[in-house]
């Protein structure tokens, strides 16, 4: 007899950005550590089909999965916390994707002439996708984006209300994250926002089973009991979700509150206690590092840190592996173009230029790369950061004064970065980017010296996730290599048999490496990415040398 699948639905109230993603990921991590097969699902209420075309200022970074899906940044949180789950396009969907599927089916006659309505057709599609994404799991944790009370979220909330009846009350748990602010003038924690938020949920037929109360301090027992009384649930089903110094403390705090034990009890899950030893070691190293390094991140989204969420987390993971605190110094590349911010580059132990699109701030990034190369400061270029490193090298070492990218100079005669044959084919077939996981063949040695890439990975074949349109042009590779640019990672396109450049480095530099892919998407606190370990190690050595 098949085991009954369990569901946890996580909603948020009072205000946005309250921490549903981290809370969902933390619960997922705790339940996985209890030996349960967990999957995570994010449902977003906006009408965009996916966040791929959304501005980083609007929605933060776009997190890319192995299958090329462009998803919400919360999938990044899930991936970093839940170690064994493998996420695909099924684990993330939006209102736009739901309506698109229903309308296409209606146009194809799939509803046999029926009047297509939000209930049951939209809600049925939502339920079908939740169940489809949950097939290989014992427990599906589903986060509903937005805030309770928003009109956009109503179809999702109605769908999960129906699922409780259809799946059985013993198999569905509603967790609601809310806010309990401390009002300094009154010297009190105020529960009214939580009461109103739960009231909104109950009006649409959902009674939360567990409340997570976000606050800057632990809730006293009497406050929990008051909230329980007014929200129609026992006081021991109300849990504190306090502000912490780093997100990796959240599951440890939830465990101390016995949240995972209560969830297991409510869902009738028999499991062991979680083994959190390695996770505690990560948190300990983050709280009490033996040293520190400063990394300059040169970009144009520096005022909106969620644009670089996976990147900043991967740098922290690299710091944990090297037992140092990584201090991120965000440097606006447009300010460098204006002759400002150079003093910030003088003070950092390493420089990183991340991925991005568009011409704004490009010359400032190239100046920062030249500074890192000539001053022998460890440099890491990711995606666009690698492409700009190639442009900088072509201009200043190969004397190609007009070196540029086809992205910024479509008709340029020295475009060392350009759209090549395979990308043109991709565009003709309806795509616009190389997305998802591709293999990378790593060169182990160059002139009898081990490459930085091989030193980091320790193997010759890896798989990494991509999100880009442009590649290093074949036309200029010979002159670049003759002048000392090392191509240490390649991918052979099966359609054209062309070799695409995946990694570049410099042999006469302490640590100068660029990669066409996004290694930050694969970094985990328990498994830091090899390139970030190597980069922070180089920053640590550079700091020691300059001191």
Written in H, E and C, the secondary structure of 473-492 is CHHHHHHHHHCCEEEEEEEE
Burial class of residue 458 in the structure, from the number of CB atoms within 10 Å of its CB (0-12 exposed, 13-18 middle, 19+ buried): exposed
Helix (H) or strand (E) holding 501: strand 499-506
Q: Which tokens in the block code for residue 256?
A: 């101390």
Local structure of residue 145 (DSSP, 8 states): P
CA-to-CA dists, residue 509 to 160, 303, 331, 376, 414, angstroms: 56, 31, 23, 6, 25
Q: How far apart are CA 417 and CA 469, in angstroms?
A: 10
CA nearest to 173, candidates 266, 104, 289:
266
Q: How far apart are CA 330 and CA 303, in angstroms?
A: 8
Asked if 296 and 345 touch (Cβ cutoff 8 Å), the reply is yes
Q: How many other CB atoms are found less than 10 A from the CB of residue 219? A: 23
3-state secondary structure of 212: strand
Residues taking part in catalysis: 383, 518, 520
- Any residues with CB less than 8 A from the CB of 341 and at least 6 apart, and which? 331, 332, 335
Q: Which tokens in the block code for residue 292?
A: 């520190």
Burial class of residue 535 in the structure, from the number of CB atoms within 10 Å of its CB (0-12 exposed, 13-18 middle, 19+ buried): buried
Q: How far apart are CA 141 and CA 378, in angstroms?
A: 41
Q: How far apart are CA 170 and CA 268, in angstroms?
A: 7
How many H helices and E strands in the chain? 20, 25
CA nearest to 297, candidates 332, 347, 340:
332
3-state secondary structure of 488: strand
């Amino acid at each position: 007899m098949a085991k009954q699948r369990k569901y946890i639905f996580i909603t948020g109230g009072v205000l946005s950005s309250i921490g549903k993603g981290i809370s969902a990921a933390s619960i997922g991590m705790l339940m996985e550590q209890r030996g349960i097969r967990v999957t995570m699902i994010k449902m977003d209420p906006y009408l965009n089909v996916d966040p791929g075309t959304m501005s980083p200022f609007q929605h933060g970074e776009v997190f890319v999965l192995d299958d090329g899906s462009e998803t919400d940044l919360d999938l990044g949180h899930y991936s970093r916390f839940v170690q064994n789950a493998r996420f695909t396009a099924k684990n993330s969907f939006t209102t736009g994707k739901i309506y698109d599927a229903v309308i296409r089916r209606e146009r194809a006659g799939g509803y046999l002439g029926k009047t297509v309505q939000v209930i049951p057709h939209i809600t049925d599609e939502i339920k079908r996708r939740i169940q489809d994404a949950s097939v290989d799991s014992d427990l599906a944790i589903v986060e509903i984006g937005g805030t309770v009370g928003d009109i956009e979220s109503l179809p999702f909330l109605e769908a999960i209300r129906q699922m409780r009846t259809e799946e059985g009350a013993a198999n569905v748990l509603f967790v609601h994250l809310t806010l309990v602010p401390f009002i300094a003038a009154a010297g009190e924690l105020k529960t009214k926002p939580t009461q109103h938020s739960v009231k909104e949920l109950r009006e649409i037929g959902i009674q939360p089973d567990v409340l997570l109360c976000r606050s800057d301090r632990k809730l006293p027992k009497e406050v929990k009991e008051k909230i329980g009384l007014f929200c129609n649930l026992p006081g021991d089903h109300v849990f504190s979700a306090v502000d912490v110094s780093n997100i990796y403390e959240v599951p440890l705090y939830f465990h101390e509150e016995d949240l995972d034990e209560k969830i297991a009890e409510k869902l009738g899950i028999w499991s062991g206690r979680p083994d959190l030893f390695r996770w505690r070691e990560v948190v300990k190293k983050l709280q009490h590092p033996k040293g520190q390094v400063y990394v300059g991140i040169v970009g144009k989204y520096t005022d909106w840190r969620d644009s670089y969420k996976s990147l900043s987390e991967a740098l922290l993971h690299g710091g944990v592996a090297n037992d140092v605190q990584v201090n991120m110094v965000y440097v606006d590349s447009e300010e460098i173009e204006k002759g400002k911010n150079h003093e910030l580059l003088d003070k950092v132990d390493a420089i990183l230029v991340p991925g991005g699109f568009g011409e704004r701030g490009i010359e400032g990034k190239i100046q920062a790369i030249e500074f890192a190369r000539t001053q022998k400061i460890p440099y890491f270029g990711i995606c666009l950061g690698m492409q700009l490193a190639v442009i900088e090298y072509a201009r200043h070492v190969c004397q190609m004064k007009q070196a540029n990218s086809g992205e910024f100079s479509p008709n340029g005669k020295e475009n060392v970065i350009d759209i090549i044959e395979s990308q043109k084919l991709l565009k003709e077939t309806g795509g616009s980017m190389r997305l998802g996981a591709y293999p990378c063949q790593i060169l182990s040695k160059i002139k009898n010296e081990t490459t930085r890439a091989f030193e980091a990975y320790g193997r010759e074949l890896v798989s990494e996730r991509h999100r880009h349109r442009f590649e290093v042009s074949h036309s200029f590779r010979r002159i670049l290599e003759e002048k000392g640019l090392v191509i240490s990672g390649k991918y052979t396109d099966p359609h054209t048999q062309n070799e695409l450049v995946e990694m570049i480095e410099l042999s006469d530099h302490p640590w100068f490496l660029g990669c066409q892919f996004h290694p930050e998407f694969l970094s985990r606190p328990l498994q830091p990415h090899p390139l970030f370990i190597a980069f922070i190690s180089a920053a640590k050595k550079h700091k020691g040398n300059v001191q």
